[in-house]
Chain A
Amino acid sequence: DGGITQSPKYLFRKEGQNVTLSCEQNLNHDAMYWYRQDPGQGLRLIYYSQIVNDFQKGDIAEGYSVSREKKESFPLTVTSAQKNPTAFYLCASSILAGISGELFFGEGSRLTVL
C-alpha cells in the first residue's frame, strides 16, 4: 500500500537532546512538508521541500533542521535550540511541487520533552 510512514509514533526526550523524526513516502510525490500542531492550534509549517536536495523554511523553522537526500525521505531534526519542542509533528507530501493539491499525511509523531 502506498502512503507516508512516520516514526516513531511517540517519543520522549530530555531537555538539551536532539531528536530526529523519520518520514518516508512511497507515493512518488515530489513535494514534502513538515507541520507542527499544538493543542487548540492549527498546523504550522516548519519546512518544505519541492525537489531532492532542496528545501525551504516555513513559518517556524527556528530550532529545526531537515534534509532531502532522497525523494522518498524527509527527516526532521528537532534540536536543543527549539524552545518548546513538545508537540504533534505531521509529515505530508503532495504529488507535484508548485501546485496546490491534496496533502497526504503520515500518522504523526508525538514528541514530549521531559
Chain B
Amino acid sequence: QVQLVESGGGLVKPGGSLRLSCAASGFTVGDYFISWIRQAPGKGLEWISYIGLFGNTIYYANSVAGRFTISRDNDQNSVYLEMHSLRAEDTAVYYCARDAGYTYGNYYFDLWGRGTLVTVSS
C-alpha cells in the first residue's frame, strides 16, 4: 500500500526539542521530493520545509528557519524533521507530503500522511 506514516509527535515544553519521522511504504522515497506541512488546531495549512532527492536542496519557511532541520535517509525510506526551541505557536498536526513529480519537483502534493500531533505547552 502506498502511504506515508508520521511518528514522533507528543507533548513538549516550550524551548524543548522533538524529532519527527516520516516513513514511506509502497514506493521509494528517494524518487520524490518531500515536504513537511503543518496545521494548527482549527486552522489552515502551512508549508514549512522541503527536501530534494538527495538532501542537497532544502528550504524552510521563515517561521521555522534556524530552529527546524529536515533530513532524509533513502536507505531507510524515511524523511525526518528535527525541531528545536519549540514555541507554543508550533503546536500543530505535522504532515509529511510527497511531491507529485517523479524524480523532479512539481511542488504540489499528491500523497499525504495522516499526521502527527505536536503540542508545545508547559
Q: A and B: real partners?
A: no
